[in-house]
Structure formats: C-alpha cells, structure tokens
C-alpha cells in the first residue's frame, strides 16, 4: 500500500488537471481541476514549511551536539526563527521587519548575485579561446552581443545594437526553440510515465 | 629554476584577482563619475512601452511582481518605470506573487513611494494579493479560479470588500498580464497566453532574456524588457531616468573590459600556439 | 466540448501516446534501437574513476527551485542514482546535496539503494546525502561552494535549477581542478554550463538518461516517441513556414482551434 496509494493519488491528480486543461465541462474544469490546483498550492506552502522544519532539525542537532560550525548553526536558527516570528507577530509591514529585510537580506542577496559579474568575466577569459571554428563563432557572437547591448558599443558603432538584436531574435531564438521543444517532449514523456505510474523514481529507492 | 613566462604566456595567465580588482574599479568609477553614454531603445522595450500605452483608460491588469532580493537591482528599476507609466494612465493594477515570496516587500515599497505619488487608492485602483507557492501550479490555479485562490488580499481583508477584486472573476477580466521575475515567460505563455489569449508583457533579468526572446520573436509575448539595459531604456521612454540609466555606464565599462580580456587571451593563445607552447583554458 | 486552442495539443498527445505504446511493445518483443552516445553520462564513469584515484569525493548537486520536485529534478535524480551506483562499484567517496526536503528524502533512499544494489551497503553513510535548505539560489549556491572547497572534490555533477549560481559553482569546481558535468534543461543555465563544465547533458539528453542507462523497453519506447514527436514538430514547422511565406494562414488557424 505504501507505493500504491501515492501512485493512485498521482494518477487522479494528474489526469484531473489534464482533463481540466482540455475539457470545457464545468464539472471537470471548475470542480475537479480548479480544486486540485488549489490543493496543490496549499501543499506547496506546507512543503516550504517542511524545508524549514528539516533545516531546524539538522542545525538544531548540530548545535546541541556542538558539532562542526555549531555557532553558525545557532546563528542560522536565530535568523530563521527570529525573522519568521517577528513577521508573524508584528506583520510583514512592521518597520523592524522591513528594515532587516532591506538592510541585510537585499544587500546580501544582491551581492551574491553580483559576484556572478566577476565570475563571468574571469570565466570568459579562461574559456573563450578560438580553438575551432565553432569556438571562433561563439567568441565573435559574444563580443558583438556584449558590446551591442551597452551604450559604449552603440556609441562606437551604432549598428552594433540592431545586429545584437538580430542575433538575439533569430539565431538565438531558433536555438532556444529547438532546445525548448526537445526538453518539452522529454517533460511530456516523463509526465505521462509519472501519471501512469510507470516512472517511480520520485518515490525513492525504486530505481536504485 | 622555473623558466620565466614569455610575454605571450603572461597575457594568457593574468591572475584572476587582478581581473576581479579591475572589474570592481571599472564598476565603481563610472558610478562616481557618470559618463552619460547614449541609450538605444531596443525593439522589445519599445513594444512593451507601446503595449502599456495602448491600454484603454481604466483597464485592469495583473502584474506578477516577483522581484527577489537577488535580482532587485535589475528588476526594481524596471518595475518603478512601469509603475510610473501605468499609474500616469490610471490603470488599475492587481499585484500577485508567483515566483518570489519576497515580492510583497518590494511591492509595499512601491506602494509607499510611487503609488503614493499618484494618490492611488488601495482597494479601488490597486490591490496586492498574497504570495502563492507552487509557481506554475499557482499560476494555473490563478488563471482558472482567481476568486478561489484569493479570498483575501495581502493584508487579510476579505476580497468581497475590495471593489477592484470584485471586478475580477477569472483571468479573462484582465486586459493584460505582466510579469517581473528572474524567470522566463514560459509558464505565462503556457497557462495564460495560449489557453486564454490574454496579452503578456515580460520583464526579466539578463540570464533569462535569451529564452524570452524566443517567445517575443514569435509574438507569444507582446513586449520584453530585459535586464538592466531594458530598465534604462524604459526609464528613458517614460522620461524618468533613474538608477538603471545611471548604472549603464558601469555596465558599458565592464562589457568593454570583458571584450578586451577575450582579445588578450586569444592573442596569447595564437602566439603561444605558434611557438609550440600549450595555452591555458579549455 | 474542448477548450479553445487545445484540439491540436490533444491530437498530438494521442499520436504521441500511440507511438509510445507501439514503441514499448516492439521493444518488449526484442527489437533493438541504437541510442547515440551521451558523452555527459559516459563522463560519469570517468569522473567517478578520477575521484577514486585521487581519494577525493564525487559531489552530486541537485537543486530544486520549487517546494515540490519537478520533472527536471526527477530526471536529475536518475543521473545521480547512476553516479551513486558507479561510485559504489569503484568504492569512491560520494556526496549528494539536496535543496528540497522531498528530493533529500528521495536521494537518501536512492543512494542507499544504489550502494546496496552494488553489494556494498556497509559503504553507505548517512552523511553521504546532505540537505542544504533553500529554494533560493542565493542561499544554496554559496553553501555548496563552501562544501566543495571543504571536501576538495575531484568531480561534480550539477543538476536541477541552479539559476545564476551555475557559473559560480562551476568556477569553484574548476578552481579545484574537478571534472564537471552539467545537466539541465534550463536555457538560462545552458550558456554557463557550456562555458564552464567539461561535459553537459542538455535539454532532452537529461530525459533520455533512464533509457540510456537501463535500456528498459518502456524507457526506450518513450524515447522513440520523443524522437517521433520531434520529427512531427519539425514537419509542422517546415509546412507552417512554407504556408505562411506563400500567404496561407490555414495551419496557424488549425493549430489555434
């Protein structure tokens, strides 16, 4: 029953939502499909809580056992639950809550994302060697698009902007479509197998 | 004794710390002393502007305001420029959050600044819905059963007490759906554009713009404002140059530096290859 | 009866299902279909071998951007399962990192079963699968980088939605001299993976993993359906382009019904 119940639930949910996508019948579209989607949204919210619970358990254990970096585990738990309780009790529009968010979370997150800028430049320097005609094409395209998207490139040669746009709209879009079509068919294939219960990898050790 | 590197080899082996230091300098200097380089308006941004501009007065639109802390520097300037444009036209706006639980905080900031500037009345002209987890699942639910997904607004007020929420039964009641997120527009095309035919405008970061281009080129989305460059272009179009326009000089200098580095590493590669030495990199 | 714009999709589904059914039947009857080499998957053996030689771990990173496992994560776990079996076979040190609570549970089960399946259950340790919580890449990425540097990995497999952190993870791995395999369907990640990783599993290659590894009739049958589906899409694109170019919008109207 441990494996059968999830498979039955998967089939009903998957088939119900697909039926709602195709059929106009209110019973299917509104009663079944819309309700299933609403329940999925609620379950997703609980899954978020599950993640927080898991983190608390792991870092709580580390803290209590004075394991590796136990002080950092304590700091993590303080940040996680302190911020959560502040928002829960005082509301997310409370001044301290928004202050902590704007002063700590936003600059921290933006900094991590901004590191990408440094890494992409060093990665370009490390990897963009014209070892073959394909690599040469890639390098030239990268140079044109990199300069065409910014003011300095457009000031150097105004045509760079339209050329960059053309590269984005035609060769790039075509390649993206090809990859998206292939990946989408893979998703359909996997989806059908999951709904029909043929694919059970998401249930655990089945495929191991 | 270790043989000294030739000039050509040194060109291809610049210490990554030196590169990072120079990048930091090239970002800081233009921020301190802006140059004021011109901004060419791309087709995607122009179409997004035109689409918003063509909205009849009093239209209601849905904006997925999924700005996260990490992508705020790219998306917040776009969002601010959009709001100036839409609010000047008194467009009614419903804000939702599909991708980012942090979105409501940025939306609240916008309500306290831009919406206040235009004296937007909460409940009649603008409403903020709560965050719904599940991304595409949540969006599908919103499209199919808007009232069912949002019985209350973000502040806990009953939707039946908010005139704007009462006007919306399902996704077809929106004149347009716009999204601001660090993701492509694919879920909007799948769950809203294709089944319901509601026009979509996309505002996204640089990493997601190549995918978004495919949808824009095929007409599945009606506008595309991509990355900081798109934000700067939109600020210029609405006549309110702001942080994005100011940051473009820094972006210009780093892009130029990246190109110079690529040229240098290839000069090194060809020179060392000619002299029979191995080059660095893949 | 059908919603607008879904007729063509339903027809496609039916054709796809029929081809898959026929494909599975023929595979079960013993028919052989050659599957082209997936260098990314073959590289797992090389990467695990290198980890064994160097005595340093092979790290599999599974990133889950949503509170539930999506199709990409499920397909990625298939690759991780294969890597775990290979690690068990070569007795290499193995670490898997999950960002979602449900993928963590599935990975624990899968890695444990992989080691048991290779007859080496005693080599499995609980700390082989670690949970670094956070559906935000800002949280997940730096934590994984710190772990990479702490463990001094010899090779890694990056799968799931890593977003902008892909590049940072790949650069961190490159700085350690690790063999890197990137597996994704996300077009936003592809440029980073192509530029920084040694091997890639892109788009549909990720979904073909199950068929490639197991050669099981059902997986191969569905792979055949995927290929036919692609051919069908190509035919529709070509016919549509020709019709649109010479003034006919009939195909577009048909697809919009």
Does the beta carbon of B213 lie under 8 angstroms from any beta carbon of chain C?
no
**Does a structural domain hold residue B194?**
yes
Q: The domain that contains B139 carries what CATH number?
A: 3.40.50
pLDDT at res. B11: 87
Q: State the CATH class of domain C39-207.
A: alpha beta
Q: Which residues of A touch B210 (CB under 8 A)?
A: 168, 172-173, 176
Range of the domain at B117: 43-245
Query: To the nearest whole angstrom, how far is the Cα of B184 from the nearest Cα of chain C?
Result: 8
CB contact under 8 A, B182 and C3: no
Does the beta carbon of C226 lie under 8 angstroms from any beta carbon of chain A?
yes
Helix/strand/coil (H/E/C) assignment for every residue in A115-151: HHHHHHHHHHHHHCCCCCHHHHHHHHHHHHHHHHCCH
Does the beta carbon of A131 lie under 8 angstroms from any beta carbon of chain B?
yes
Q: Which of B24-33, B105-114, C19-28, C184-193 has the lowest mean pLDDT?
A: C184-193
CB contact under 8 A, A180 and B102: no
Distances (CA, A) of A135 to A124, A128, A129, B282, C194: 12, 7, 7, 10, 11
**Does a structural domain hold residue B22?**
no
CB contact under 8 A, C101 and A112: no
**Does a structural domain hold residue B8?**
no
Q: Which residues of B touch A106 (CB under 8 A)?
A: 69, 72
3-class secondary structure, A105: helix
**Whose CA is closest to C104, among C160, C153, C47?**
C160
CB contact under 8 A, A24 and C3: yes
A162, A153 contact by CB (below 8 A): no
**Does a structural domain hold residue B32?**
no
Chain C residue with the nearest C-alpha to that of B195: C5
Burial C59-77 (b: 16+ CB within 10 A, else e): bbbbbbbbbbbbbbbbbbb
pTM of the model as a whole = 0.84
Evaluate the CA torsion angle C85, C86, C92, C96 in order and state its sign.
negative
Q: Which residues of C touch B70 (CB under 8 A)?
A: 136-138, 164
Rg (CA), chain B: 23
Query: To the nearest whole angstrom, how far is the Cα of A155 from the nearest Cα of chain C?
Result: 27
**Whose CA is closest to C35, among C178, C255, C209?**
C209
pLDDT at res. C175: 87
Structural domain total, chain B: 1
CB contact under 8 A, C136 and B207: no
Helix/strand/coil (H/E/C) assignment for every residue in chain C: CECCCCHHHHHHHHHHHHHHHHHHHHHHCCCCCCCCCCHHHHHHHHHHHHHHHHCCCEEEEEECCCCCCCHHHHHHHHHHHHHHHHHHHHCCCEEEEECCHHHHHHHHHHHHHHHHHCCCHHHCCHHHEEECCCCCHHHHHHHHHHHHHHHCCCEEEEEECCCCHHHHHHHHHHHCCCEEEEEECCCCCHHHHHHHCCEEEECHHHHCHHHHHHCCHHHHHHHHHHHHHHHHHHHHHHHHHHHHHCCCCHHHHHHHC
- Map tokens 């301290």 to a residue: A96
Does the beta carbon of A191 lie under 8 angstroms from any beta carbon of chain C?
yes
Residue B5 confidence (pLDDT) above 80: no
CB contact under 8 A, A129 and B281: yes
Q: For residue range C133-150, what is the model confidence (pLDDT) as tens digits?
A: 766 777 888 889 999 999
Does the beta carbon of B19 lie under 8 angstroms from any beta carbon of chain A?
yes
Q: For residue range B167-199, what is the model confidence (pLDDT) as tens digits?
A: 998 899 999 999 999 888 999 998 999 888 999
Which tokens is B121 given?
A: 């009345």
Q: For residue range A163-173, what is the model confidence (pLDDT) as tens digits?
A: 998 998 899 88
Q: For residue range B217-254, what is the model confidence (pLDDT) as tens digits?
A: 989 999 999 999 999 999 999 999 888 988 999 999 99
Nearest-CB residue to B210 (from A131, A147, A168): A168
Q: Which chains touch B (3 or more CB pairs under 8 A)?
A: A, C
Burial B176-215 (b: 16+ CB within 10 A, else e): bbbbbbbbbbbbbbbbbbbbbebbbbbbbbbbbbbbbbbb
Mention every residue, 6+ apart, whose C-beta is less than 8 A from residue C34.
none
The most confident of A131-135, B116-120, B241-245, by mean pLDDT: B116-120
Indicate the Cα dihedral angle C8, C18, C37, A139, nearest 10°: 0
**Does a structural domain hold residue B108?**
yes
Label residue A205 by pLDDT band (50, 70, 90): low
**Does a structural domain hold residue B178?**
yes
Does the beta carbon of C5 lie under 8 angstroms from any beta carbon of chain B?
yes
Which tokens is A201 given?
A: 């990898």
**Structure ipTM over 0.95, yes or no:** no
What is the rounded CA–CA span in Å between residue B39 and residue B247? 12
C105, C134 contact by CB (below 8 A): no
What is the rounded CA–CA span in Å between residue B76 and residue B106? 8
Q: For residue range B18-70, what is the model confidence (pLDDT) as tens digits?
A: 999 999 999 999 988 888 888 889 999 999 999 999 999 889 999 999 998 88
CB contact under 8 A, C67 and B134: yes
Chain C residue with the nearest C-alpha to that of A204: C106
**Does a structural domain hold residue B161?**
yes
B69, A106 contact by CB (below 8 A): yes
B72, B106 contact by CB (below 8 A): yes
Residue C7 confidence (pLDDT) above 90: no
Domain ranges in chain C? 1-20+217-257, 39-207
Q: Is A52 exposed, middle or buried (0-12, 13-18, 19+ CB in 10 A)?
A: middle
């Amino acid at each position: 029953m441990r494996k059968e119940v999830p498979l039955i639930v998967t089939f009903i949910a998957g088939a119900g939502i697909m039926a709602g996508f195709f059929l106009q019948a209110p019973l299917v579209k509104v009663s079944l499909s819309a309700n299933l989607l609403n329940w999925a949204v609620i379950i997703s919210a609980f899954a978020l809580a599950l993640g927080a619970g898991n983190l608390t358990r792991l870092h709580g254990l580390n803290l209590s056992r004075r394991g590796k970096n136990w002080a950092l585990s304590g700091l993590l738990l303080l940040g996680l639950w302190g911020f959560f309780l502040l928002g829960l009790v005082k509301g997310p529009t409370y001044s301290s809550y928004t202050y902590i968010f704007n002063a700590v979370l936003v600059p921290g997150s933006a900094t991590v994302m901004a590191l990408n800028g440094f890494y992409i430049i060093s990665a370009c320097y490390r990897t963009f060697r014209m070892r073959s005609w394909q690599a040469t094409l890639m390098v030239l395209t990268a140079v044109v698009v990199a300069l065409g998207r910014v003011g300095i490139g457009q000031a150097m040669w105004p045509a760079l902007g339209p050329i960059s746009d053309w590269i984005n709209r035609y060769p790039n879009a075509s390649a993206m479509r090809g990859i998206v079509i292939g990946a989408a068919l893979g998703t359909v294939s996997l989806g059908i197998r999951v709904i029909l219960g043929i694919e059970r990898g998401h249930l655990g050790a089945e495929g191991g | 004794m270790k043989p000294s590197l030739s000039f050509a080899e040194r060109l291809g082996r610049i210490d990554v710390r030196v590169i990072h230091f120079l990048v930091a300098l090239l970002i800081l200097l233009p921020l301190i002393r802006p140059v004021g380089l011109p901004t060419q308006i791309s087709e995607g941004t122009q179409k997004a502007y035109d689409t918003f501009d063509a909205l009849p007065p009093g239209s209601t639109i849905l904006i997925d305001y999924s700005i996260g802390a990490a992508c705020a520097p790219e998306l917040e300037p776009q969002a601010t420029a959009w709001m100036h444009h839409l609010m000047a036209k008194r467009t009614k706006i419903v804000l939702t959050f599909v991708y980012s639980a942090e979105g409501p905080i940025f939306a609240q900031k916008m309500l306290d600044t831009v919406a206040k500037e235009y004296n937007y009345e909460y409940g009649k002209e603008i409403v903020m819905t709560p965050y719904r987890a599940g991304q595409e699942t949540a969006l599908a639910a919103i499209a199919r059963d808007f009232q069912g997904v949002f019985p209350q607004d973000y502040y806990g007020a009953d939707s039946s007490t908010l005139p704007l929420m009462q006007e919306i039964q399902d996704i077809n009641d929106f004149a347009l759906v716009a999204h601001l997120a660090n993701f492509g527009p694919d879920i909007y095309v799948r769950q809203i554009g294709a089944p319901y035919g509601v026009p979509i405008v996309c505002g996204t970061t640089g990493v997601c713009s190549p995918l978004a281009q495919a949808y824009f080129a095929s007409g599945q989305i009606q506008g595309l404002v991509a990355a900081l460059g798109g934000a700067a272009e939109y600020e210029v179009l609405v006549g309110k140059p702001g942080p994005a326009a100011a940051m473009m000089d820094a972006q210009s200098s780093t892009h130029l530096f990246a190109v110079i580095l690529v040229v240098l590493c290839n000069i090194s590669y060809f020179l060392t290859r000619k002299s029979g030495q191995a080059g660095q990199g893949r | 009866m059908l919603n607008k714009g879904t007729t063509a999709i339903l027809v496609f589904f039916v054709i796809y299902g029929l081809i898959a059914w026929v494909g599975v039947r023929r595979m079960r009857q013993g028919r052989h279909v050659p599957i082209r080499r997936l260098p990314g998957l073959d590289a797992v053996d090389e990467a695990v071998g290198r980890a064994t030689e160097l005595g340093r771990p092979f790290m599999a990173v599974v990133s889950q951007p949503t509170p539930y496992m999506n199709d990409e994560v499920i397909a990625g776990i298939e690759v991780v399962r294969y890597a775990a079996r290979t690690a068990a076979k070569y007795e290499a040190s193995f670490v898997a990192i999950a960002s979602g609570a449900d993928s963590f549970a599935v990975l624990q089960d899968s890695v444990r079963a992989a080691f048991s399946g290779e007859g080496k259950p005693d080599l499995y340790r609980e700390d082989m699968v670690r949970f670094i919580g956070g559906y935000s890449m800002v949280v997940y990425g730096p934590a994984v980088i710190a772990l990479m540097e702490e463990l001094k990995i010899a090779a890694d497999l990056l799968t799931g939605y890593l977003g902008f952190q892909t590049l940072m993870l790949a650069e961190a791995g490159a700085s350690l001299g690790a063999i890197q395999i990137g597996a994704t369907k996300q077009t936003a990640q592809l440029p980073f993976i192509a530029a920084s990783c040694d091997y890639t599993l892109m788009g549909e290659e990720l979904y073909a993993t199950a068929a490639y590894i197991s050669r099981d009739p059902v997986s191969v049958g569905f792979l055949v359906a995927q290929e036919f589906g692609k051919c069908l899409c190509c035919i529709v694109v070509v016919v549509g382009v020709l019709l649109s170019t010479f003034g006919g919008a009939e195909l577009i109207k048909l697809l919009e019904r």
